[in-house]
Amino acid sequence: MEIISKLTGCGSYLPQNVVTNSDLAKKIDTSDEWIFSRTGIKQRHYAAVGENTSDLALIAAERALSHAGVTGQDVDLIVVGTTTPDRTFPATAVKVQKNIGCVRGAAFDVQAVCSGFIFALSIVDSMLKTGQFKTALVIGADTLSRLLNWEDRTTAVLFGDGAGAVVVQAVEVDTRSRNEDGILSTHIHSDGNLENLLYCDGGPSTTQTSGFITMAGKEIFRHAVTNLASVVMEALAANNLKGSDIDWLVPHQANKRIIDSTVKKLKMPKDKVVLTVQDHANTSAASIPLALDQAVCEGRIQQGDLLLMEAMGGGLTWGAALARWG
């Protein structure tokens, strides 16, 4: 017998306030045509004043628990991927732990910017497979609207707020069937030499502020296309699979042109890609579980479907995960 980790439920939350490209054009020198043609974004959601990352994360977590048919008391591991914690410390995950009524196990945050969900999933997959934990919540939650520099129209139009969560459970299976179910593999990478291409120019140890997003857009675009192609091929090769074996690509939703490039590399039909960037913009660590939850709720992703998830973000960080749903 062997332990595998299975995705058994999902949930998400988007703040009520919807801001369209045309709304932004009333505030800064931009247009719907410029934003949509370069990114595929039409609108984004912004958290209300007083609505914090942990509030978004909590609703997504509660929905995922209910979908999986478990309660906060069943959970013994919570990992939140976030770049915008409520406080410098403690972790947003411990706030979620308290608010779902979980009184045991471990809860902590992971900082890998837009790759935060994939990094968190990878850590949880490894921890569940040790046999030490049984039921985990993996959450991606961010309020990047709080880090926008309204003097920089190139970055200000790209981001939105949201949260998504999955329940991941350890299950014992026959060793022979271990490659057929649950999370098949995860692949994560970083390159700190590229830190200055995308960063937030503040922090507790430097400016004692959270700062604003700064990005070299064209270079980030180029690295995203290269690194995502490389990591999805790595994930497929590790499992002896090809693009046509994938039922759904659930990519990080930063830019439709970056997603199109990965789809072309995988030789996948476009109707097998979950696309939410038009409605959510880039919600950083939340974007993959938000897209996953939308496709599951709409009945497009079905039990047993093979999912390929991928992301790249500041750091640079990038990664991919292959998993069967349900």
Residues with catalytic function: 114, 252, 282
Task: Give me the least distance between CB of 207 and ligand ACO, in Å please.
Answer: 21
Provide, rounded to whole angstroms, the least separation between the CB of residue 281 and ligand ACO. 10
Give the shortest CB-314-to-ligand ACO separation in angstroms.
7
39 binds ligand ACO (CB under 6 A): yes
List 250, 291, 296, 312, residue binding ligand ACO (CB under 6 A):
312
99 lies in the site for ligand ACO, by CB under 6 A = no
Other C-beta atoms lying within 10 Å of the C-beta of residue 254? 27
Distance CA(261)–CA(180), nearest Å, equals: 28
Element spanning 297, H or E: helix 287-297
Q: How far is the CB of 213 from ligand ACO (least distance, A)?
A: 8
Spatial separation of the C-alpha atoms in residues 68 and 166, rounded to whole Å: 9
Q: How many binding residues for ligand ACO (CB under 6 A)?
A: 23
Taking CB under 6 A as the rule, which mask of x and - marks residues 3-32 in contact with ligand ACO? ---------------------------x--
DSSP code, position 203: B
Which residue's Cβ lies closest to ligand ACO? 217
Residue 18, both tokens:
């919807």
254 contributes a contact to ligand ACO by CB under 6 A? yes
Closer of 162 and 313 to ligand ACO (Cβ):
313
Return d(Cα 172, Cα 4) in angstroms, integer: 6
For residue 51, the minimal CB distance to ligand ACO (Å) is 23
Q: Give every CB contact of residue 92 below 8 A, 6+ residues apart in sequence.
A: 53, 54, 57, 80, 82, 85, 86, 109, 141
Q: Which sign, positive or negative, has the C-alpha torsion 3, 108, 212, 31?
A: positive
Which residue, 23 or 247, has its beta carbon nearer to ligand ACO? 23
Which of 110, 114, 188, 194 is close enough to bind ligand ACO by CB under 6 A?
A: 114
Binds ligand ACO by CB under 6 A, chosen from 181, 217, 300, 305: 217
With CA atoms as reference, report the closest residue to 144 among 206, 207, 82: 82
218 in contact with ligand ACO (CB under 6 A): yes
Q: Which residues pair with 313 in a beta bridge?
A: 317
- What is the C-alpha to C-alpha distance for residues 69 and 67, in angstroms, rounded to an integer? 5
Using omega within 30 degrees of 0 as the cis cutoff, is the peptide bond preceding 90 cis?
Answer: yes
Helix ranges, 116-152 (H)? 116-129
* DSSP H helix total and E strand total for the chain: 10, 13
Taking Cα atoms as reference points, which of 97, 116, 96, 105 lies closest to residue 77? 105
Based on the shown chain and the rule CB under 6 A, indicate whether residue 230 belongs to the binding site for ligand ACO: no
* Distance of closest approach, residue 201 Cβ to ligand ACO, in angstroms: 15
Nearer to ligand ACO, 182 or 289 (CB): 289
| 71 interacts with ligand ACO by CB under 6 A | no
Calpha distance 228→311 (Å, rounded)? 7
| Residue span binding ligand ACO (CB under 6 A) among the ranges 4-12, 150-158, 229-237, 271-279 | 150-158
The amino acid that residue 174 corresponds to is D
CB of 33 to ligand ACO, least distance (A): 9
The yes or no reply on residue 276 touching ligand ACO (CB under 6 A) is no
Interface residue list for ligand ACO (CB under 6 A):
30, 34-35, 38-39, 114, 153-154, 157-158, 198, 215, 217-218, 220-221, 224, 252, 254-255, 282, 312-313
